[in-house]
Amino acid sequence: MEEIGKFLGWATAVCFGMSIMSFVVKKINLWIIKQFEKESQLRMFYGKFMRFIIRNHMYFGIGAGALAISHLYIQISNGKTSLVGIMAVTLMILTILLGVAMKKIGIAKHKWLLYTHRSVVVMLLFTIIVHIILVG
Ligand code: HEM
Ligand code: HEM
């Protein structure tokens, strides 16, 4: 049970990392890829890869949320808990709710949703790192 709990924790972290890639791929595109010619194979391939990551980041995010709740359940069943872990799962649920709200009502007139979504992700990243350092 202990190993499953740890595995679920790492699986949550990996899915969360894949969601964050949505930001990273855009920056790589802006800073590096845009310097190549429009018709270059690299630029065309990268464009497809970037769209794949951006389009699917929400599924990785929802997966991360489901895995985090399973991890929480296993840790509590093992008689273990973590305050920072609970903070992380709370921020993750908030991130997902903000993402779903953006999908439902759109971003154009509600830019604050995107800014809040991004800011909560930064806090969540920091919280997860602290959680792993404290329990590891
Ligand atoms: C752990 C969960 C998630 C993380 C870490 C995450 C991360 C991010 C980040 C970093 C951005 C900003 C990209 C940029 O600045 O250009 C973003 C944008 C966005 N997210 Fe999420 N997200 C998560 C979950 C979700 C979910 C569940 C949904 C919807 C169901 C969602 C919908 C969106 C939308 C609509 C945008 C703005 C457009 C775009 O760049 O795709 N996100 N997300
Ligand atoms: C976003 C949410 C979370 C992530 C990404 C996460 C991630 C992780 C990871 C990667 C580990 C394994 C560290 C190692 O191998 O040493 C771990 C362990 C642990 N987590 Fe979480 N966690 C989250 C939420 C929670 C929550 C809500 C709780 C509350 C019950 C919790 C309690 C624990 C405990 C007690 C351990 C130590 C397990 C052991 O040593 O057997 N975590 N977590």
Listed by start position, the domains of the chain span 2-135
Confidence of residue 1 (pLDDT cuts 50, 70, 90): confident
Interval between CA 61 and ligand 2 midpoint (Å): 17
- Encode pLDDT of 67-90 as tens digits: 999 999 999 999 999 999 999 999
Name the residue at shortest CA distance from atom 43 of ligand 2: 9
Residue 107 DSSP class: S
CB of 99 closer than 6 angstroms to any ligand 2 atom? no
Give the pTM.
0.94
CB of 127 closer than 6 angstroms to any ligand 2 atom? no
Q: Which candidate, 12, 19, 131, places its Cα nearest to that of 71?
A: 12
Rounded percentage of the chain residues whose pLDDT exceeds 70: 100
Report the pLDDT value the prediction gives residue 118, as an integer from 0 to 100. 96
Starting from the CA of residue 80, give the closest ligand.
2
36: helix, strand or coil: coil
- Encode pLDDT of 34-52 as tens digits: 999 989 999 999 999 999 9
CB of 114 closer than 6 angstroms to any ligand 1 atom? yes
pLDDT at position 122 over 80: yes
Could you tell me if 9 and 2 are in contact, meaning their C-beta atoms sit under 8 angstroms apart? no
**Cα gap 132→13, rounded to integer Å:** 10
Could you tell me if 61 and 79 are in contact, meaning their C-beta atoms sit under 8 angstroms apart? no
Could you tell me if 35 and 11 are in contact, meaning their C-beta atoms sit under 8 angstroms apart? no
